[in-house]
């Protein structure tokens, strides 16, 4: 089955690698097909802000997934640096609490307006997809994101339909994507890409693509299942 151009653009590939040669090979192979890469703890710890700059210079949008969880002053000042770096979106744990999230949104918006910067999307992490989680808890955390005016949430594909129905304006980003019958690694709440894309705005996929011998072929297979 041919993959629509639109669905390629809804895939974010997680560059969870510390081998620069491999990263470069994947980025080159997927160039022209996808628009966004996710830089998480592994690549950011190894390469620092440079990897963000490099991806941006090649025309990609960068999703910086460092899952911030700290007191407001620390998170807000870190978020301002992310804005100066020009990241497309970044993540915070919704467990930060409603007041901290409201303050983050307000301060970052003012900072970006004053400095004529594009405000990155703030995405709230509900429950990690590597753990079992109750829908009730995920929805409770999602309500914090909505009340604080965040742009979206990270949740598993299994909760995505419920979030979509209750919070139609929030962007939903779902990791935990696996080919039917394939290894789930440490992920617990998984689904196929086509199920997730019925509800999510974007899906995030790492190992099934970055560990594949032919990443582009893996992308096409994942998006057609
Ligand atoms: O390799 P895999 O496809 O499991 O990668 C999923 C990516 O999404 C990883 O980079 C992981 O850190 C991230 N993530 C997740 N679950 C969340 C939030 C982010 O798996 N709730």
Confidence band for 189, pLDDT divided at 50, 70 and 90: confident
125 C-beta closer than 6 A to ligand 1:
yes
Q: Which atom of ligand 1 is the closest one to the Cα of 207?
A: 1
What is the whole-number distance in angstroms between the Cα of residue 207 and the centre of ligand 1? 9
140 C-beta neighbours (distance < 10 Å), count:
12
Confidence band for 211, pLDDT divided at 50, 70 and 90: very high
Please tell me what DSSP assigns to residue 31.
B
- pTM of the predicted structure, to 2 decimals: 0.96
40 C-beta closer than 6 A to ligand 1:
yes
147 C-beta neighbours (distance < 10 Å), count:
11
Residue nearest to atom 17 of ligand 1 (CA): 128
CA distances, 210 to each of 116, 185, 214 (Å): 35, 13, 9
Residue nearest to atom 21 of ligand 1 (CA): 128
**CA angle 121–122–125, rounded 5-degree value:** 135
Q: Please state, in angstroms and rounded to a whole number, the distance separating the CA atoms of residues 89 and 62.
A: 7
Strand bridging mode 202-205 / 171-174: parallel
Catalytically active residues are: 67
Tell which wins on pLDDT, 98 or 185.
Answer: 98
Q: Which atom of ligand 1 is the closest one to the Cα of 126?
A: 21
Q: Which atom of ligand 1 is the closest one to the Cα of 205?
A: 3
Residue nearest to atom 19 of ligand 1 (CA): 175
Contact assessment for residue 85 and residue 52, using Cβ atoms and an 8 Å cutoff: yes
| Residue 7 Cα to chain centre, angstroms | 15
Q: What is the pLDDT of residues 47-71, one digit of tens each?
A: 999 999 999 999 999 999 999 999 9
Q: What is the pLDDT of residues 117-132, one digit of tens each?
A: 999 999 999 998 888 8
Q: What is the pLDDT of residues 27-37, one digit of tens each?
A: 999 999 999 99
Tell which wins on pLDDT, 2 or 97.
Answer: 97
Domains of the chain with CATH codes: 5-223 (3.20.20.70)
């Amino acid at each position: 089955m041919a993959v629509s151009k639109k669905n390629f653009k809804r895939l974010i590939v997680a560059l969870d690698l510390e081998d620069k040669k491999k990263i470069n090979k994947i980025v080159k192979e997927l160039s022209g097909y996808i628009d966004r890469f996710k830089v998480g703890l592994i690549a950011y710890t190894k390469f620092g802000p440079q990897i963000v700059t490099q991806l941006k210079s090649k025309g990609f949008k960068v999703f910086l997934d460092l899952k911030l969880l700290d007191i407001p002053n620390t998170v807000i000042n870190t978020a301002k640096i992310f804005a100066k770096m020009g990241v497309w979106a970044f993540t915070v744990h919704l467990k930060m609490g409603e007041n901290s999230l409201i303050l983050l949104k307000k301060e970052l918006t003012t900072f970006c307006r004053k400095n004529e910067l594009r405000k990155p999307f703030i995405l709230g992490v509900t429950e990690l997809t590597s753990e079992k989680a109750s829908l009730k808890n995920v929805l409770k955390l999602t309500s914090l994101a909505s009340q604080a005016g965040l742009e979206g949430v990270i949740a598993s594909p299994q909760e995505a339909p419920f979030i979509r129905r209750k919070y139609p304006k929030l962007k939903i980003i779902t990791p935990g994507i696996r080919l039917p019958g394939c290894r789930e690694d440490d992920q617990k709440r998984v689904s196929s890409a086509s199920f997730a894309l019925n509800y999510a705005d974007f899906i995030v996929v790492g190992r099934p693509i970055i560990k594949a011998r032919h990443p582009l072929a893996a992308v096409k297979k994942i998006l057609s299942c």
